[in-house]
Amino acid sequence: MAHHPHQVTHRWMALILMGVIVIFLRVLWELIDLHIFIPNSPDYRERKYDNTYEVLGLRGRILDRNGVVLAESVSGREVAIDAQDPALDHPKVNRDTLPVELAELLGVNQEKMIETFASGRRYTKIGIITDDALIKELQQRKDPSNTTNRIAGVSIATVRSVRSYPNGARLCHVLGFVNHDGDGVYGIEQRFDKELSGTNGMVHAIYDGRRREIRTRRIDEVKPTHGNDIYLTIDNNIQYIIETALSNALTNFQAESGTIIVQQVKTGEILGMATLPSFKPQEFNKHFQDEWKNIAISRCYEPGSVMKAITVAMALQMGIITEHTVFDVGTSGVWYYAGKPLRDRVYGKIRARELLMQSSNIGTAQIGLLMAQPAPEKGMPAQNELLWRSFNAMGLGKKTGIELIGEENGIFWNYKNKAMWNKLSPTRIPLGQSISVTALQLVNAYSTIANGGALMKPTILKEVRSHEGEVVRVNQPKVLGRPLSENVCNKMLDMLQSVTGKSPRGTGWRANLPSYTVAGKTGTGQIPVNGHYNHSDYNVSFIGIYPATRPELAILVTIEKPRGSVRSGGGVAAPTFAAVAEEIGHYWGIPADKLPKEQGK
């Protein structure tokens, strides 16, 4: 019996509809299974629908006072070689040329890459790459569907954080570095390690059949926490100026090392801190540990005649002398005390101004003897007590408290230590001998003279901000004490200008500036070796305050062991000061305090 054509059509339509319904139900079941049953199934791990991976919590940045990035962390991929990767047997992979090609692509040593592939090792770390284009290329060329330019045996799955220092070695001793474990070492990196450190997040995800994450069906998620940003008081432009000048000075005067510090006298903020030789923080393991240290705060040395300004200032403050007190230094150029000679290039009767201008050893030693006398009327009845307390009040012999790792106290024995104080000590300590200080202590003491008598806590921290830019903490200037009166400071600024005047009698005349008056002092400190002074090696210094009429900045320059024909503070450190001070003054916007007719004098 023949079926009517319409019946046949209806049957086929019914079959097709049933097929569509079956397919729809199948897809619906797969979706329900994937989204509801799989996550709650005890065996879903075996079915490999899920995976857990970390999300990087980046380390915070370090920036200068103007927001210039000095250190930052970026996301990268760890590159490793799996010499047992089955993909190496792919017909499109050339085992002979692959290591060479990969070495060229990654910028690593070819011989090392060839050796790594030949070793047969399962996992050999090569390095970390941060170039997004390179990462993308490696991912594409690892894809099995890629039949040309095939790369195998390479793993780039592990995400890593890489610390970057955009300016290379600049400010390296202040910044410190991050080691291979991600811990901050030295400098700001270590001091603020907790604030800078981030915390990694975690994602427990479900994947579809093509291993694509289904972001709406994450089983668990812990968001990463990025570290805080540290803003320094450092000005990156000033840092460039002083590091360039210091490098030139070490070359020109054939010196071993040196330091330049720029401090804002009213706040104690450090605008620049350069020490050379330097190192690249990202290549810290290529240098000895001693090369990581910041000698501006960790190296103690006998400062020489720059101490004389501190001696005169404290003697004036304590009422031991006045600016009119006369000192007879003799006419022979030598003075004996406790059986030891002290030589001088100054002769006759002088006052404090001439003492500082010509850097008289004998005159300063005589002040030291006056300050060493018991002063019961001042509450200091012991021998040497007033002398010790005076220098200690100026911050010598103790840490300044700056926010850096590795600061030293200096060496300045308490007056009660009879074994370290002898009859000669009061005549040598005021000259900058038998006392060791750090460069930071010295510049901070001069800033005290510059700002009217307030001993400020030196600081290198401006503020801390969150990753999102919210202010966490603002660092405020802190006064540690007031060892000097404003009247004494004004007298000192006036007298110290004679040191840098154009008169050939002033030891620091080479520090004279075209636009600004400068109050400063030179120093040429002998280096003690085995209990005796080396007569060929010196630490030479100059510390300048400017403008002397309304001080803004204090700059210290110390050069260690110059080997050229000139080896004095006035001949080496003073012109180095001049090379940076004028430029920094104009950059910082400090108005000139010299009239046009005075400029160049």
CATH of the domain at 500: 3.40.710.10
For residues 554 and 537, membership in a common domain is answered with yes
Whether the full predicted model's pTM is greater than 0.75, yes or no, is yes
For residues 190 and 245, membership in a common domain is answered with no
Q: pLDDT tier at 535 (50, 70, 90 boundaries)?
A: confident
Q: Report the phi/psi class of residue 351: left, alpha or beta, with left for phi > 0 and alpha for psi in -120 to 50.
A: beta
DSSP state of 91: T
For residues 225 and 151, membership in a common domain is answered with yes
For residues 505 and 400, membership in a common domain is answered with yes
Query: Which pLDDT does position 46 carry in this prediction?
Result: 46
Query: Which pLDDT does position 519 carry in this prediction?
Result: 97
For residues 188 and 157, membership in a common domain is answered with yes
Quick one: tokens of 207? 């994947």
For residues 217 and 243, membership in a common domain is answered with no
Mean pLDDT of 453-471: 97
Q: Is residue 167 part of a domain?
A: yes
Expressed as residue numbers, the domain containing 489 is: 236-283+293-588
Quick one: tokens of 377? 């009327």
Mean pLDDT of 110-135: 78
Tell me how long the chain is: 601
Q: How many CB atoms lie within 10 A of CB 527?
A: 16
Q: How many domains does the chain have?
A: 2
Query: Which pLDDT does position 207 carry in this prediction?
Result: 67
Task: Find where tokens 């300044």 sit.
Answer: 400
For residues 418 and 475, membership in a common domain is answered with yes
For residues 241 and 225, membership in a common domain is answered with no
Q: Is residue 198 part of a domain?
A: yes
Q: Is residue 28 part of a domain?
A: no
Write out pLDDT tens, residues 329-356: 999 999 999 999 999 999 999 999 999 9
Q: How far is CA 236 from the centre of its chain?
A: 11
Write out pLDDT tens, residues 226-253: 999 999 999 999 999 999 999 999 999 9
The whole-chain average pLDDT of the chain stands at 88
For residues 348 and 407, membership in a common domain is answered with yes
Q: Is residue 416 part of a domain?
A: yes
Q: How far apart are CA 206 and CA 187, in angstroms?
A: 43
For residues 221 and 241, membership in a common domain is answered with no
For residues 297 and 437, membership in a common domain is answered with yes
Instruction: Pick the most confident of 13-22, 79-88, 298-307.
Output: 298-307
Query: What CATH number does the domain containing 78 carry?
Result: 3.90.1310.10
Q: How far apart are CA 138 and CA 151, in angstroms?
A: 7
Domain end, chosen from 186, 214, 229, is at 229
Q: Among 129-133, 222-226, 472-476, which is the least confidently predicted range?
A: 129-133
Domain end, chosen from 229, 249, 274, is at 229
Q: Is residue 187 part of a domain?
A: yes
Considering only residues 413 and 529, tell me which one the structure prediction assigns the higher pLDDT. 413
For residues 456 and 523, membership in a common domain is answered with yes
Domain end, chosen from 212, 229, 246, is at 229
